[in-house]
A = this chain, B = another copy of it.
Amino acid sequence: MSLVQFTKQANLAMLTLDRGKVNALNPDVVEDLRSGLRRAISDDDVDVLLLTGTGAFFSFGFDVPEIISYERTAFDRFVHDFTSLYLEFFECPKPVVAALNGHAVAGGCMLALGSDYRVMARGRAKIGLNEVTFGASVFAGSVEILRHWVGHRNAERVLLTGALYSGEQAVALGLVDEVCEPEEVMATAIRAARAFAACDAEAQRSIKRILRRPVADRVRMVEASSIREFVEIWYSPNTRERLSSIRIH
């Protein structure tokens, strides 16, 4: 049974995170997301992708209670797979819209930032990169992608405060493109996806490549050394103590 539902509505493929209450990310979800993404890319009937989550969360990020027990090699592999996944979304030749049905936090936010357009529910849902608050670093590649959407200065604020933002605040920062009533998230995201699909696909693919390639090249250039530093800090006594106190299930 897959942890990511794959469904189609005409030329739209929908990937739905479906793992427990908070759609916590672990190696299996990452693998299933990648499979879903590749299936949608290679399916000639699919013109546009929609990424969302079941229940009240988009994704609360890494499954810390599970991942904290990993040996360093397994954790390292997971982190490589995860970072290459958000880049694969960011460079997806077909448009990807994220329907943020609920919280998109830490790794969940990084994943959302890989898409072309983010629709978020007004109200209680929060988005942010709060790693600094629990003693973790971030991936330099995700910082490049964050900067692409929010600029250098807002990236500083987002990362150094670790604040979580409402949809309205997130639109002002550039983290999210559109905010709407919670019950309208899916319809709004589908409308945005259809608008993307209405353009000439070849021209759009070329323009998207021109927009993304310089950013993706920088991601590739900085990611490996940043992962080493991230892993180092993850296994530091301070951070392990903070992580051990996280209970998300």
Q: How many identical chains are in the complex?
A: 3
Chain A interface residue count: which class? 35 or more
Cβ contacts under 8 Å, A207 to chain B:
131-132, 137-138, 143, 159-160
Tell me how far the C-beta of A172 lies from the nearest C-beta in chain B, rounded to whole angstroms.
Answer: 12
One of B133, B199, B229 near A162 (C-beta < 8 A): B199
Cα–Cα distance between A95 and B161 once the two chains are bound (Å): 12
Cβ contacts under 8 Å, A244 to chain B:
none
Tell me how far the C-beta of A131 lies from the nearest C-beta in chain B, rounded to whole angstroms.
Answer: 6
Cα–Cα distance between A149 and B133 once the two chains are bound (Å): 23
User: B160–A203 contact, CB under 8 A?
Assistant: no
Closest chain B residue, CB of each to CB of A161: B195
Tell me how far the C-beta of A57 lies from the nearest C-beta in chain B, rounded to whole angstroms.
Answer: 24
Known contacts A131-B203, A203-B135, A242-B200: A211-B159 contact under CB 8 Å: yes
Q: Which residues of A contact B (CB under 8 A)?
A: 95, 116, 131-138, 140, 143, 147-153, 155-156, 159-162, 174, 195-196, 199-200, 202-204, 206-208, 210-211, 214-215, 218, 222, 226, 229-230, 233, 236, 238-239, 242
